[in-house]
Amino acid sequence: MKLIKDDYLTEWEVLKMKELYFWQLQEMSGQFVAHVLFGWALTYPLMGPIVKSALHGWMLRFPVAMTFATFLGVQASNWQRPSKTFHEIMSQPAPHGSYLRRSIKEHFPVWWNDVSGQLHTNGYSLPEMPQYDKSTEI
């Protein structure tokens, strides 16, 4: 994310951001492989056997498999994936946590609304959240 300046982050936060990047990259590449394999498997019942050579069959199946894989990839990009690392970064106390929460809130308001709802469900009440409760329970 190019919108967050490294100067405002602690070493722990930089390491957590790298861990989050690595985790997301691994998950997205694994999903891509799974989508391509699933798309390739779908071509057999839909297209049936191809009588010509194996190379010709591969050339005919590849565009159909990529169409299925692209469709699955677009659908998968909207799936919510729970991430412990992301919630650790977002739920830390001020001043560093508030900088990250404000950055997400300013640049990605729809995403922030979902994240703040998840944090609220998990029992967090932070000043940047729309669900913030200013009352004190004793």
Rounded to an integer, the average pLDDT of 18-41 is: 89
The boundaries of the domain holding residue 94 are 83-128
Same domain, 33 and 92: no
Q: pTM value?
A: 0.63
Write down the pLDDT at residue 6.
Answer: 66
3-state SS of the chain: helix, strand, coil percent to 5?
70, 0, 30
pLDDT of 103 > 70? The answer is yes
Give me 64's structure tokens.
């159909």
Over the chain, what is the mean pLDDT?
82
> How many domains, in total, are found in the chain?
2
**CB contact at 8 A, 85 and 20:** yes
Domain C-terminal end among 43, 62, 79 = 79
Estimate the crossing angle of helix 11-47 against helix 54-76, to 10 degrees: 130
Same domain, 10 and 22: yes
Same domain, 56 and 112: no
113-126 residue pLDDT tens: 888 888 888 888 78
* 25 belongs to a structural domain: yes
Same domain, 62 and 4: yes
Q: How confident is the model at residue 68 (pLDDT cuts 50, 70, 90)?
A: very high
